[in-house]
Structure 1
Amino acid sequence: MLSESEAAELLSFLGPGTRLDVKGQATGYILGLSAHSDGCRFFRSKPDLLRALFALTSDPSIAIVKDCYHVFINLTADETLHQVLVADVNILPVLLKNLQDPEYPFSDQICTILSNLSRHKKTCKTVFKVLQEGVGLAQLVEIFCTEGYNKKAKLHYLGPLLSNLTQLPETRNYLLDKDRCVVQRLLHFTQFQASVVRRGGVIGTLRNCCFEHDHHEWLLSEAVDILPFLLLPLAGPEELTDEENEGLPVDLQYLPEDKKREEDPDIRKMLLETLILLTATKAGRTTLRDKNVYPIIREFHRWEKDAHVGAACEKLVQVLIGDEPEQGMENLMQVEIPEDVKEKLKEADIREQQELETEQERIRQEEEEEERKKREAEGADREQETGLIR
């Protein structure tokens, strides 16, 4: 790693008046450093170097700016640098201001940096504070929901940013404000096929919002009608009976033979977790049963191959077909769990995790064995063809 004198020399190459080729070599070198944990550790005590580098995000050279943004993407992937970047370097106001500019060519990089910075709750609170002091959450949602807002950037990583921000009750309260009609604007992105990142970000946002159990009844009502948007990605082409179809929301009835399910297992799991959260309240359980959710989940469970997603699905099924809790325990989010029961549940979760990992390892080994046999068979066929040619 660089000595103090070498770091000082490197800093001298980052001035705006430095020759372009020298500046380019310096930023290229820093980009290489930032790709490794040792390099990130080095930058923790070098806020002056980071400030000079961040100033170059407004350099006339596009190549220099691109290198600098890539450095900050790498650095923000390391949580230990977050406080240095938001407090000492103060990067947030400039990033958020540039994000508002519909002509700014590096807005995708900004979205990634903001998404990285907001992953952990402590820095997420800082991101939210600075956001509200400047751009504001309303404008952020507007940018996200406006198709083609920036012709030079896709802005898909605003989805994970929104999801991260909904760790905070302040963000959830804003999105769930009945007078603002915000959460409704996000729903159609659950089927946004152009980007798994945007799609997953929105579903993560909806899942986090469902921790606010007081809003479950409203979310499931006609005012929002969240249920079809959560179920449709899980529904497949299987033929249901007329009785099962008629009980479903209209959008879920008589689906075509080419209907495909959500391809990403992490997103499928988040959708199930969102449905499980909605069943924490009596109003939620009643609605999901009245809307005949079970047949969709039943067919999904038969189709699902991922062990972790399957486990989440089984938890949902248990609630849908199980008995109602005793009086006074209808809201599962408000039930006080004794410490000994918590320990038993924790142990059960550990056992379940171990079983899932064992099952996944078994499946992996079976797939490898099948692949090996396939390669051997193909090799034998080639040898036979070679013999025939001779």
Structure 2
Amino acid sequence: MLPYFKLNDYKAVKDLMQLTGDEPLTAHDALSALINLSSDLEIIGVMCDDVFLTSLVVLTVLPKNVNADLCCMLLNNLSKFEIVAEKLLPAPSADPGVQKTHRIDNLLEIFARGETSKYNPAASFHFLAGVFANLTTSPQGCEFFLSRSTVDNSPRLSKLVVFTEHSDTMRRGGVVSAIKNCCYGASVAKHGEDVLFSEELNLLVYLLLPLAGPEDYTDEEMDGMPDELQFLEPTKIREPDARIRHTLVETLLLLTTTRYGRDFMRACKVYPIIRQLHLVEKSEAVQEAIEEVVNMLMRDESQETADGTSSAAHPSKMIKLDGEAPAQAEAPVEQDEADAQIEALI
């Protein structure tokens, strides 16, 4: 069937793109078909149209649009392709107020607020987490997410970090992947490290909370530990997904690559928390990642390189939420799981 959609200069694909703005039932079928076609690079070249991408964003944020989640799924599939991601992100020299900047900020707003908003009870917007994870795989995307929103001037990453303990695996997995990518690419962003360790973002707390259990610590261990991590409820459970735990620990490892980061993490008493995690961790990959973090925190700082970074800590490359993980990395969501969720909604 796929060759049929490529006939007559992809007329069938272009017709489906037009129908995404039609009445709900027709739009549903058109979006479902485009989701199924969005693995073909040639067809992606047709859908990689700035007007169409903007229309998908508009349909996503449109109040009470019953097909909003399908739009999120399609954006998730499209954004893993570099040619699409480049168009969704603002040009490096763009005015912060232009539309290309605002459409991603609008998606961030709807992601942060939409789940609890009454204006669209038919949508969860969880698949937008995959969009953000995909966009942050490029230096341009990292710089964008490490800068401030054009909506309220808050750090864009602050709209994601609050979901590291969300009940939905897709949402928190995509968020954790986006955070890891931003930590990996922080060196290319202006003031990247300043943002990651800022009190405004409070990133370390959001990374450690999913890894923490209901343990008791000594007064010495808690001296300097963020308040949010002390005296957790006896019912507190850790992140149940080993892949997400692995990504969280690898993100901590990325934060140890500078002397400032290591000193900051020591002052916040990261070691006692991950020590307790190691005692109960079942995944060998997560155990090994924890040991790398411990080695960096307990290391002899005379091994530090001239520029203040360490070559010892260099976890896997940025990851996209499409089930394809590069060497030494585990994608937060396998493609089979994502496909199952898509089929269930379609």
Structure 1-normalised TM-score?
0.68
Of the two structures, which has the highest relative contact order with CA contacts closer than 8 Å and spacing of 6 or more?
Answer: 2
Alpha-carbon separation, structure 2, partners of 1:309 and 1:292: 19
8 A Cα contact 2:255 2:261, kept in partner:
yes
Q: List aligned pairs for 1:166-177, cutoff 5 A.
A: 166-177=136-147
Alpha-carbon separation, structure 1, partners of 2:123 and 2:281: 35
What is aligned with 1:330?
308
Q: List aligned pairs for 1:265-280, cutoff 5 A.
A: 265-280=242-257
Alpha-carbon separation, structure 2, partners of 1:100 and 1:254: 39
Task: Kindly provide the amino acid, as one letter, of the partner of residue 155 in structure 1.
Answer: F
Deviation at residue 259 of structure 1 after TM alignment: 1.1
Task: Kindly provide the amino acid, as one letter, of the partner of residue 143 in structure 2.
Answer: N
| Residues 1:212 and 2:186 are matched in the alignment | yes
List runs of 5+ in structure 1 lacking aligned partners.
Answer: 1-38, 336-348, 357-390
What is aligned with 1:150?
120
Q: Deviation digits for residues 321-372 of structure 1, max 9, x if unmatched?
A: 222233504223799xxxxxxxxxxxxx98x89xx9xxxxxxxxxxxxxxxx
Q: List aligned pairs for 1:34-183, cutoff 5 A.
A: 39-40=1-2, 43-45=5-7, 47-60=10-23, 62=25, 64-79=26-41, 81-87=43-49, 91-128=52-89, 132-133=99-100, 135-146=102-113, 147-148=116-117, 150-177=120-147, 180-182=153-155, 183=157
Q: Deviation digits for residues 58-92 of structure 1, max 9, x if unmatched?
A: 44461x432222111111144453213225x9632
Match of 1:221 among 175, 198, 212: 198
Structure with greater Cα Rg: 1
Deviation at residue 135 of structure 1 after TM alignment: 4.9
8 A Cα contact 1:44 1:84, kept in partner:
no
8 A Cα contact 1:230 1:271, kept in partner:
yes
CA RMSD of aligned residues (A): 3.0
Task: Give structure 1 regions of 4+ aligned residues with deviation exceeding 6 angstroms.
Answer: none
Aligned residues: 299
| Residues 1:202 and 2:171 are matched in the alignment | no
Deviation at residue 132 of structure 1 after TM alignment: 4.1
Distance verdict in 2 for CA 1:40–1:231, change over 3 Å: farther
Alpha-carbon separation, structure 1, partners of 2:34 and 2:223: 53
Deviation at residue 40 of structure 1 after TM alignment: 3.8
SS in 1 for 2:246: helix
8 A Cα contact 1:93 1:134, kept in partner:
no
Structure 2-normalised TM-score?
0.76
Higher percent of residues as helix: 1
Deviation at residue 293 of structure 1 after TM alignment: 0.6
8 A Cα contact 2:278 2:287, kept in partner:
yes
Q: Deviation digits for residues 156-197 of structure 1, max 9, x if unmatched?
A: 11111112112233333333236821322332111222x221
What is aligned with 1:289?
266
Alpha-carbon separation, structure 2, partners of 1:312 and 1:80: 39
Alpha-carbon separation, structure 2, partners of 1:107 and 1:263: 28
8 A Cα contact 1:59 1:65, kept in partner:
yes
Greater alpha carbon shift after TM alignment, 291-300 vs 216-225: 216-225
Greater alpha carbon shift after TM alignment, 127-136 vs 204-213: 127-136
Task: Kindly provide the amino acid, as one letter, of the partner of residue 176 in structure 2.
Answer: I
Task: Kindly provide the amino acid, as one letter, of the partner of residue 112 in structure 1.
Answer: M
Alpha-carbon separation, structure 2, partners of 1:133 and 1:41: 33
What is aligned with 2:212?
235
8 A Cα contact 2:158 2:201, kept in partner:
yes
List runs of 5+ in structure 2 lacking aligned partners.
Answer: 92-97, 314-325, 331-346
8 A Cα contact 2:5 2:11, kept in partner:
no
8 A Cα contact 2:146 2:195, kept in partner:
no
Deviation at residue 57 of structure 1 after TM alignment: 2.8
Alpha-carbon separation, structure 2, partners of 1:78 and 1:289: 47
Q: Deviation digits for residues 264-315 of structure 1, max 9, x if unmatched?
A: 2222122112111111111101011111111111111222212222222222
